A and B are shown apart, each in its own frame.
Chain A
Amino acid sequence: MNDFSGKNLVCVRGERTVFQGLDFKLESGGALVLVGANGSGKSSLLRLMAGLLPPAEGTITWNGEDTTEDPESHGGRLHYVGHLDAVKPVLDVAENLAFWAGLRSGGAVMAALEAFGISHLADVPGRFLSAGQKRRVSLARIVVRPAPLWLLDEPTTALDKATIKRLEGTIARHRDGGGMVVISTHSDMGLDAFQMLDLGDFS
């Protein structure tokens, strides 16, 4: 049973306080959906959780341990999908994915591509992919190698309905296996038993 929580978080971006006094708590199998207007700090909170951005105040802990103490092991237990897809234009889809899998000591590339219905694109270079296909490659990265915590920043951008369904299914399986997920989204996703966090409440 894992426990991921943050206490009294304050985020400051360029002199401006984005949010303050924010608490969250997530346990194995849990899902946290971040909502709020543009600029309310959904992406900033996800970057804080990932450890890309240090909190101005407050602590983020994993099983009681401060995540900033050991950023490498925190990095190893999470998958982050940001606004950018990190798909190299000159490498083909399988090569792109294999690199990220290799960095986390291996994984089944073709099975991950199959999970998002892009196994037929395996040998297509990144520069020929559409926005939605790039996003699918980016999402395939989170299943190629298991990690208990998924941080997804607007994962449904540019995805078609069928792929959103696949993503929902993937997230449900991940949670059944004891994983947790934090998602920021503007569109409704079919998740069950999730917590909602409105960042507008902490501005």
Chain B
Amino acid sequence: MCDFINIIRRDLLLALHQGMDWVMVVMFFIIAVVLFPFGVGPEPNILARIAAGIIWVAALLASMLSLERLFQTDYEDGSLELLVLSPMALEWIVLAKVIAHWLTTGLPLILAAPLLAVLLNMNTDGFLMLIAALALGTPSLSLIGAVGAALVLGSRRGGVLLSLLILPLFIPVLIFGVGAVDAVIGGFEARAHMLILGGLMLGSLALCPWAAAAAVRQAVE
């Protein structure tokens, strides 16, 4: 357990020290959302209607940005080999790295989302649900993304390949994430959507660390 926290702390420290990756992710998220009113036109009703969808799609794309580096830097400098050889099971190590990734990507996105919802004139009834749905959905994005990040290790242009592999798998999270917010704004129960989002998260929590660990073992061979 102590080792588990040790890895999270080290990844957070690295994220803080190097390149301000997480700031770029949040900036990308904000800029991508801000572009929509320019493209769609400043009609408040239209923007309010599509606000939840825009925020979710932008959040998916933004979380892709830093996924590529989840294992890549460790792979390049040899740390990944040593992590594989550590006495702790690789699945736990992968999970620790995913948690660190979520803390530096998912959490800032959740914090920035309400601001953008105001900008897009989203109905205020949906605000709390947007935050709740993102809180339940973004961990799945980091977990599923970790499998892709491990699979593309060692390949050239891994970033592009990663988006092709992973974005289709993000679709269920997107559908039910947007569905939950739209349901509340429309005056319906969002319980079913939230249950499915929770189910997706638990499912990926159970499967993804194993799949990603297998891919990492393959990569360091």
Contacts and interface: CB of A to CB of B under 8 A. Distances in A.
B17 A90 contact: yes
Contacts of A100: 82
A180 to B, nearest CB: 17
Contacts of B76: 84
Given A73-B87, A75-B86, A88 B221 contact: no
Interface in A66-117: 72-73, 75-76, 78, 80, 82-91, 95, 99-100, 102-105
A148 interface: no
A147 to B, nearest CB: 10
Contacts of B6: 99, 102-103
B77 interface: yes
A18 interface: no
A73 B89 CA distance: 10
Interface string B105-138: 0000000000000000000000000000000000
Contact of B87 (A50, A53, A76, A86): A76
A85 B77 contact: yes
A87 B77 contact: yes
B18 A90 contact: yes
Contacts of B89: 72
Given A91-B17, A99-B10, A103-B6, A82 B86 contact: no
B14 A91 contact: yes
B27 interface: no
A123 B88 CA distance: 28
A156 B87 CA distance: 26
Interface residues of B, number: 24
B14 A88 contact: yes
Contacts of A58: none
A36 interface: no
B85 A78 contact: yes
Nearest to B13: A91
B198 to A, nearest CB: 31
Contacts of A85: 77-78
A52 interface: yes
A30 to B, nearest CB: 21
A103 B86 contact: yes
A80 B82 contact: yes
Contacts of A72: 87-89
A183 to B, nearest CB: 17
Contacts of A105: 2-3
B84 interface: yes
B62 interface: no
Contact of B85 (A75, A84, A90, A102): A75
6 cross-chain pairs, A with B, having the tightest CB-CB distances, nearest first: A84-B78, A76-B87, A90-B17, A86-B78, A75-B85, A86-B79
20 contacts: A51-B85, A52-B220, A52-B221, A53-B221, A72-B88, A72-B89, A84-B76, A85-B77, A86-B77, A86-B78, A86-B79, A88-B14, A90-B14, A91-B13, A91-B14, A100-B82, A102-B6, A103-B6, A104-B86, A104-B87
